[in-house]
Structures are given as structure tokens and as C-alpha cells.
Structure 1
Amino acid sequence: MAEEDLSLLTEEVKHSDGALVPPEGLCGVSVLSCLLLACSYVGSLYVWRSDLPRDHPAVIKRRFTSVLIVSGLSPLFVWAWREFTGVRTVPSLLALMGIRFEGLIPAIILPLLLTMVLFLGPLMQLAMDCPWSFMDGIRVAFAHFHHVIELLRFRQGTLSGIFLSAVFQFSYTAVFGAYTAFIFIRTGHLVGPVLCHSFCNYMGFPAISTAMEHPHRITVLSSYLLGVLLFFLFLFPFTDPSYYGLPTPVCTLTSSPSSLCLS
């Protein structure tokens, strides 16, 4: 590895064998910083007191304002983390956050295409069912899960049903969060996770129960299975860091990029 790559961390400590390790406590501070930023983002959605449903235009505008403020302050938060921990990196602050031009076109196309491959079954089902335009079919075929607070507040469903819905939603969003984080680490771009998130929000969770009762069940279910298989087949090739400009910003935070970053 080039000598300049080994100087990414200015506060590193050397073991007796010469290996570089990050400053003591850096991992804990970094994890807490991530949690604080995430909690700030989610918490900003609930600072507004209102008796209106969450889908009311007035509530949506307020939440949009909160998210816009937190998102605008996030670069300052990352800068503060870097200054506090003493970490010095070759990439700029914006590049660390996935905002860069190198490899931008592949970052726009490939992660979104990979996600659409995963949704091959639902897309096939929509194409077969909707008698109007394809995009109109997407708009009405799926619905988002409401938040637990919203369900309890307006007495929508039983307590046990709301709890099970919350567990399902948490599990689904946790898996999706891991997937978008994987895309960010592999590509070093923010645009990929944003587009994939928008697409998945637009599609909603696949209506598997409807697919089981579909008149063309074999074709639809085969599309579901084919989409999953192709997704895992293309997962690493479509996110190969060489398409997006090596080394990726996230990987260059370490003294030696891991096999995940280079594979």
C-alpha cells in the first residue's frame, strides 16, 4: 500500500508488530455519533404537536421542514465528529458523505437497477394487472405501513395487530437499512441509496399473498423467485467499487481496506 494511504489517520497507534490501530475510544465515539444523528433525524419528525393525521398536507410540510434542517446540519455534524476524534482523511468532507462526481453515472444507474431486479416479481405483477399506465398501477397497488403512534392515536386496529405490524415494519426497515448502507460502503456515493430508498417507498412491500392467488400464479411467483436469484447473483458485480472510482471514501477511512471494500 502506498505510504500516503497509511497516513490517513493522524492519531493512530502502532502495535509491536507495526500494525496501525485507531485511537482509543474512536469506535465508541463514532457509533454514538451515528446514533445521535439518526435519533435527531427521526426525532425531528415528532417535534410538531398536532391533532392532524401524519398524511395531512400541513403535517407533511412541517415534517419536511424538520428533515430539511437536520439534513442541512448533518455536514456540520460530520465535521464536528472529525475534529473531535482527530481523524484526518484524504477525501474531502463532502466526499466522505458520498457527494462526489467520480463514478456518478454508474452510481445513479446500477444500484437502482439492482433494486428493480429484486422487485422483478411485483413489477411483473403490476404489468399484468393494471389496465391503465404502469406508473398509475404503482401508485395504487401498494400502501405504506402507518407508524405505531399513528395507529394507536386514531384507534386503527387492535393493540396486538399494531404490535405485530410494528415488529414487521422494524424488521423490514432494518434489513433495508443494512442494504442501503451496503450500497453506500461499496459505491461511496449517496445518490444510490437515495434512489433505492425512493423506489422502495414508492413500491411498498411486495403483495406476496396476492401473488399466491393470482390467475397467473406460476408466472408471477416464478418472477418473484427469479428476481431474488438475480439480485444475489448481481449484488457484488453491480456494486463493484471499481465502477465508482477506487478507493471509495468509506473504505479509505481504514489503514487497509477490507475485503468487503475490494471484492
Structure 2
Amino acid sequence: MAPIQPPLYPLSILSSHLVGLSFGSSYVVSLYLVKNARLRFSSEKTDARHSNVLPGSRDDPAVIRARLTAATFATLLNCGIVYVLIARSTAPSFDSFASTLAILGVRWPDRILSCLQTPLLFLGPLYGSYLAGTLPGQSNYSFNRDFLGLFSNWQGFRNYVWGPLTEEIVFRACVLSVYAMGGASRWRMIAFAPLIFGLAHVHHAWDTYNRLGRTQDALKRAALSTIFQTLYTTLFGAHTSYLFLRTSSLIPPLTAHVFCNIMGIPQLQSETRRFPEKKTTIIAVYVIGIALFAYTLVPWTESPTSLYWRAPEAFWRAVVGTS
């Protein structure tokens, strides 16, 4: 009688869904478990000479510090769970810690072009900034205001440093790793993982509803903004998931996340109104940027050493060191 072979994958697809959802949920729930991280809503106004942020609001430095601390602990917890899953599934002679680092994308990408691919999508907005003279080196650009001012406060640190880093670790590295442990194909991972990322932003509706006065109109506006944000973040999550799977590195999705947070939502209508004489050129540059983004999506992200961009069997055999 032939010996029973152990399963190739340590998780089922259902387990991958549940663990992935628990990762996303733990990240969001951590923001509300800590007392100082919870938002407080009040009609009280602060002295504009000292602060334009209400105490207890989302942009209150004390709230930001508490939330970043909570998110950090949630991120470390989720990475620890990935390590435990790896350690329980690999042979005793295999380096579980090194496998965890590899599976979480802690490495430089094979090609630096993979970090430059996302900005092509923002070629139109960058051209709008050029027309406004706000790009580095132009007349309306200030290093102190537009760079140091962006990163030297708690809001900037949250939006452009620690927030993107912890989110990419949890919603890309951790979530995609458990889908890989369940044997999900790369296209299923690109489809499922971003949904967790998008749903993780639904809680912002509560903040919006309260800030706008808890009226019926506030409820409608909160619902609409949340639907848009969920769709936008889901699409963005699909792109960064693709970058992570293609490169097996956190660096490309992280740089894309930071860049997109800095650029914000493209404002085509606003730019054409501001520069009506350049309307046709602005639209053309937007279209060219989208075309270049699509054209370079595969060649610029090519990574021969990617653990993920293979058949699922080859991926898991590489991680556990089996033949």
C-alpha cells in the first residue's frame, strides 16, 4: 500500500479566505480597541491660531500616534501568524524565518522599473502640476512647504510613511501569502485580496457621517464617499497585488502606495478649467499616460526570481524546500 502523501498546501481556500479576512479585520479593529485611538466627535471649535484640528479627530496628532501604535501591533501579530503557518508546514531542516521573509516580500525587486511603472498612470496629473509650476525645481515649488511640510508632521507620517508601510505588509504580503498557502491561482489572488483591502476602508463612513453633522444628508454623503473610496481602493489593491505577485517584493507596491497618496485623485476637470487653452493637450497626456501604463505593465514588472509568479505548486515547493 502506497504511503499517504501529505497535502501540498497547508491551508484550504476557505481557510485562506477566513485568515485573510482576519488579517484585515484585526488591522481595522485595532484602531478602535485602544481608547486614545478612538475618534471623538464634538461641535467644539479650536483656536485657529494654534491648531486647525479638533481634539479627538482623525487628524489629531494624539489620535494618529495611538492609531499608528495599534496598527503596528496588528501588523506584527499578522506577520507572526504567517511565520507560525510557515513553521508548522516546513521541514525541520528548513529555515522558517527566511521563508517568512521571502513570502512577505522582504527583498529588493529585480528591476527598479517596477517602482516607476505606476507613475506613468499619473502622467496627466503630473503634466497639470507642470502647468501650475508646482513640480520640483519650478517657480511655485517650495522644498520646505511641499516636501518637508509634507513629511514633517504626524498627518504626513501617517499618510506617506507608516500608513502605507503597515497596510502593504498586512493587505498585500500577509493576505496574499495565505492565499498562496491555500493554492489559489495568481489571478484569484488578484481578485480576492483587494476586496479585503477595499472593505477595510468602509469604517471611514462613520467618521464622515459624524463630521458632517449626523444628518440625513450627512448619511447620504458618507455612503457615496465610502462607496467611491471602496471601489477606488479595491482597484488600487488589485494593481498593487499584481506588483507584489510579479516581483515578490514589497518595494514596488509600497512606492506605488506612497506615490498615489501624494498625488491624490486625478483632477482632469479641474485642470482643464484652470488651463482651458491646454485642454486638448491635457486630455491627450492623460490618454498617453494610461496607454504607457498598460504597455509597460508586464515588461517593467518582469521578475525571474519571483516566488509568486509561477504555478502554485512550484511556489509552495520552493518555499518548503520539497522536490
TM-score by structure 2 length? Answer: 0.63
What residue is the counterpart of 2:156 in the other structure? Answer: none
Residue 199 and residue 177 in structure 1: after superposition, are their counterparts in 2 closer, same or farther (change >3 A)? same
CA distance in 1, matches of 2:109, 2:260: 25
CA distance in 1, matches of 2:116, 2:9: 36
Residue 151 and residue 50 in structure 1: after superposition, are their counterparts in 2 closer, same or farther (change >3 A)? closer
For the pair 1:132 / 2:121, whether they are aligned, the reply is no
Given residue 155 of structure 1, which amino acid in structure 2 is its aligned partner?
Answer: L
Is the 2:125–2:286 Cα contact (8 Å) retained in structure 1?
A: yes
For the pair 1:41 / 2:27, whether they are aligned, the reply is yes
For the pair 1:250 / 2:315, whether they are aligned, the reply is no
Residue 102 and residue 110 in structure 1: after superposition, are their counterparts in 2 closer, same or farther (change >3 A)? closer
Given residue 238 of structure 1, which amino acid in structure 2 is its aligned partner?
Answer: W
Is the 2:109–2:247 Cα contact (8 Å) retained in structure 1?
A: no
Residue 134 and residue 121 in structure 1: after superposition, are their counterparts in 2 closer, same or farther (change >3 A)? farther
What residue is the counterpart of 1:239 in the other structure? Answer: 301
Pairing 1:78-93 to 2, within 5 Å after superposition: 78-83=82-87, 86=89, 92-93=99-100
For the pair 1:66 / 2:70, whether they are aligned, the reply is yes
Alignment gaps of 5+ in structure 2 = 41-55, 151-158, 160-200, 316-323
Deviation of the 1:123 alpha carbon = 0.6
Report the secondary structure of 2:298's partner residue.
helix
Report the secondary structure of 1:255's partner residue.
helix
Pairing 1:113-128 to 2, within 5 Å after superposition: 113-128=116-131
Residue 101 and residue 49 in structure 1: after superposition, are their counterparts in 2 closer, same or farther (change >3 A)? closer
CA distance in 1, matches of 2:12, 2:90: 9
Please point out which of 208, 218, 223 is paired with 1:163. 223
What residue is the counterpart of 1:97 in the other structure? Answer: 104
For the pair 1:148 / 2:205, whether they are aligned, the reply is yes
TM-score by structure 1 length? Answer: 0.76
CA distance in 2, matches of 1:120, 1:176: 17
For the pair 1:11 / 2:6, whether they are aligned, the reply is yes
CA distance in 1, matches of 2:109, 2:255: 18
Identity over the aligned pairs, expressed in percent?
31
Given residue 175 of structure 1, which amino acid in structure 2 is its aligned partner?
Answer: L
What residue is the counterpart of 1:30 in the other structure? Answer: 16
For the pair 1:191 / 2:245, whether they are aligned, the reply is no
Given residue 132 of structure 1, which amino acid in structure 2 is its aligned partner?
Answer: N
What residue is the counterpart of 2:279 in the other structure? Answer: 217
- Cα RMSD of the aligned pairs, angstroms, is 2.9
Is the 2:125–2:266 Cα contact (8 Å) retained in structure 1?
A: yes
State the number of aligned residues: 227
CA distance in 2, matches of 1:203, 1:45: 25
Deviation of the 1:183 alpha carbon = 0.4
Deviation of the 1:127 alpha carbon = 1.1
CA distance in 1, matches of 2:226, 2:28: 16
CA distance in 1, matches of 2:311, 2:68: 32
Deviation of the 1:256 alpha carbon = 4.2
CA distance in 2, matches of 1:81, 1:256: 18
Report the secondary structure of 2:6's partner residue.
coil
What residue is the counterpart of 1:260 in the other structure? Answer: none
Deviation of the 1:50 alpha carbon = 3.9
Structure 1 runs, 4 residues or longer, greater than 4 Å off: 87-91, 134-140
Deviation of the 1:100 alpha carbon = 2.5
Given residue 255 of structure 2, which amino acid in structure 1 is its aligned partner?
Answer: L
Is the 1:98–1:249 Cα contact (8 Å) retained in structure 2?
A: no
Report the secondary structure of 2:297's partner residue.
helix
